[in-house]
């Protein structure tokens, strides 16, 4: 990914655009195959440092690049005439950026695909592993760890869709000249050259591709980052000392703290949380690029130089780091069980409530009863199961103490897990 956003690679993509335009001229009979070969050879000799040197003078990178190429061409060379003919810098820059981003997105998609695949495996593996579901950080009702992972899988799938759409939205080039008027080339020229590059022509370009495309692309990046942040946050929560249901991998020889050797800190996940903030920050900047002046100003350029490469590289890093976390994830089902039971029956309160409704008790009355007993359990630390079970009225309604006790069981909670997994697309 770093390679895709290197200066070297960027110039290679820009050359590809210029070259594709020259291929058009070859097909039109204006250049020979031999000319194309020479052009590629000339490019092979241009170095980054030469471009930089020329740019220092011209303060215009595309002109510096063309100068460097032309310096390799002979006097009266037809290439000198057809190279960059009728094009403007942005034709090259924006089209090359589209090529870069398309490739980069391929890597991001690969990351998400592997994450989704790993999540599907883990979701199946832990589809019967009971744990407590938590809302507001408070124990709620039993769930399975597999079900939780299925939710992540589902979000991963959504991000695959988003990034594919985002790639489409940026798979547009333009070769419409200085202010988009196609004065020197027909829309057909543009369409043919871009098709060769695998891109579509921007229907109405100005000097540039309109920046709402880039902003839309970045929205997808930010949403991907938010997804990783969400998963990382969950692992951080589950790794808390008091919870310890899951731990991110901890390398041999790794040291948790300079002062407290025992610590296993979820530093990888915390790192991911921080990176998500950065990606969101870049989005703020990119969104401001949409409203350029007239047929363009160049304020977007500095933003894109930083935010596009850093943003995409950071997200890529996030995806692969998260994948490695999944690969080494330590799961502690016994701790999940311990936590589930720690509330001593309170997680069944809704089940009891429903059982009372089933027996014909009115909701308001049932609610107050359960609330009272649950509150007592919560405050005193006693078992809700016991408090409720001791109540003669409960025994009467359900037909004996034993039947009351049987309500406090996990059966029934997980009967839908498999079908949820299937609905999410995990098979």
Q: Which of residues 248-287 bind its own copies (CB under 8 A)?
A: 251, 253-267, 270-271, 273-278, 280-285, 287
- Binding its own copies by CB under 8 A: which of 3, 33, 49, 242? 242
CB of 197 to its own copies, least distance (A): 18
Q: Which of residues 21-50 bind its own copies (CB under 8 A)?
A: none
Q: Which of residues 207-226 bind its own copies (CB under 8 A)?
A: 207, 210, 212-213, 215-216, 219, 222-223, 226
CB of 402 to its own copies, least distance (A): 22
Q: Which of residues 351-370 bind its own copies (CB under 8 A)?
A: 351, 353-354, 357, 360, 362-364, 367, 370
Q: Is 386 in the site for its own copies (CB under 8 A)?
A: no
Cβ proximity to its own copies: between 5 and 384 the closer is: 384
Cβ proximity to its own copies: between 4 and 356 the closer is: 356
Pick the catalytic residue: 32, 60, 186, 257?
257
86 by Cβ neighbours in 10 Å (0-12 / 13-18 / 19+) ranks as: middle
- Binding its own copies by CB under 8 A: which of 4, 24, 51, 89? 89
Q: For this structure, is 171 an active site residue?
A: no
Cβ proximity to its own copies: between 375 and 400 the closer is: 375
CB of 393 to its own copies, least distance (A): 17
Q: For this structure, is 257 an active site residue?
A: yes
Cβ proximity to its own copies: between 26 and 249 the closer is: 249
Cβ proximity to its own copies: between 39 and 143 the closer is: 143
Cβ proximity to its own copies: between 48 and 183 the closer is: 183
- Binding its own copies by CB under 8 A: which of 3, 59, 392, 427? 59
Q: Is 427 in the site for its own copies (CB under 8 A)?
A: no
Judged by CB under 8 A, the stretch of 7-15, 156-164, 392-400, 401-409 that binds its own copies is 156-164
CB of 396 to its own copies, least distance (A): 19
Q: Is 194 in the site for its own copies (CB under 8 A)?
A: no
Contacts with its own copies by CB under 8 A: the residue count is: 161
């Amino acid at each position: 990914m770093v390679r895709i956003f290197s200066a070297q690679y960027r110039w290679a993509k820009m050359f590809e655009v210029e070259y594709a335009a020259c291929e058009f001229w070859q097909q039109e009979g204006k250049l020979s195959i031999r000319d194309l070969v020479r052009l590629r050879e000339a490019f092979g000799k241009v170095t980054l440092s030469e471009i930089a040197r020329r740019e220092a003078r011209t303060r215009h990178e595309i002109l510096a690049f063309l100068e460097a190429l032309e310096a390799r061409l002979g006097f009266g060379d037809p290439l000198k005439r057809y190279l960059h003919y009728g094009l403007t810098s942005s034709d090259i820059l924006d089209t090359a950026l589209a090529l870069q981003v398309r490739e980069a997105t391929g890597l991001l998609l690969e990351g998400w695909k592997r994450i989704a695949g790993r999540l599907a495996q883990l979701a199946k593996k832990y589809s019967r592993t009971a744990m407590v579901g938590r809302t507001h950080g408070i124990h709620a009702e039993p769930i399975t760890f597999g079900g939780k992972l299925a939710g992540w899988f589902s979000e991963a799938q959504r991000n695959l869709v988003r990034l594919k759409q985002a790639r489409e939205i940026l798979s547009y080039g333009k070769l419409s000249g200085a202010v988009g008027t196609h004065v020197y080339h027909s829309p057909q020229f543009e369409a043919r050259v871009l098709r060769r590059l695998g891109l579509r022509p921007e229907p109405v370009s100005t000097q540039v591709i309109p920046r709402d495309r880039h902003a839309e692309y970045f929205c997808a990046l930010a949403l991907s980052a938010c997804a990783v942040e969400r998963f990382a946050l969950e692992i951080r929560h589950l790794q808390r000392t008091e919870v310890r249901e899951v731990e991110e991998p901890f390398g041999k020889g790794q040291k948790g703290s300079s002062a407290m050797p025992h610590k296993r800190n979820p530093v990888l996940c915390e790192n991911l949380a921080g990176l998500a903030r950065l990606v969101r920050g870049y989005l703020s900047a990119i969104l401001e690029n949409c409203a350029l002046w007239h047929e363009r100003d160049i304020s977007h350029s500095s933003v894109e130089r930083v935010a596009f490469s850093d943003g995409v590289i950071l997200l890529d890093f996030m995806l692969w780091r998260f994948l490695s976390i999944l690969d080494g994830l330590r799961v502690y089902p016994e701790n999940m069980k311990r936590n589930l039971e720690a509330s001593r029956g309170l997680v069944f309160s809704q089940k009891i409530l429903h059982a009372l409704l089933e027996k014909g008790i009115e909701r308001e009355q049932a609610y107050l009863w359960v609330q009272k007993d649950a509150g007592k359990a919560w405050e005193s630390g006693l078992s809700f199961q016991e408090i409720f079970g001791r109540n003669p009225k409960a025994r009467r309604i359900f037909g004996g103490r034993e039947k009351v006790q049987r309500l406090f069981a996990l059966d029934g909670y997980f009967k839908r897990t498999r079908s949820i997994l299937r609905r999410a697309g995990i098979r």
